[in-house]
Amino acid sequence: MILPLLQSAVSQERLHALASEMRLDETLLLELVKAAERHSGMLRRKGLFQAFDAIIDRAVK
């Protein structure tokens, strides 16, 4: 699983840097990672892209 790896201080710093580079709230970036992990291997009809779309829609509003 990816999420336990994000618990370390180094990972948290990298997450912060990526969010800053992408001009995205860290919470939303983490939600994208969680959605990808939760839906890994699923097709569009199974919900992955809808989950991403919903998170990204909130990010750009």
Q: Is 8 left (phi over 0), alpha (psi -120 to 50) or beta?
A: beta
Q: What is the pLDDT of residues 1-43, one digit of tens each?
A: 566 777 788 988 988 898 899 888 888 888 888 887 777 666 5
Give CB contacts under 8 A, 24+ apart, made by 48-52.
none
Domain count of the fold of the chain: 1
Q: Which domain holds residue 32?
A: 3-60
Q: Is the entire prediction scored with pTM above 0.75?
A: no
**Do 29 and 18 touch, CB atoms closer than 8 A?**
yes
Return d(Cα 41, Cα 14) in angstroms, integer. Answer: 25
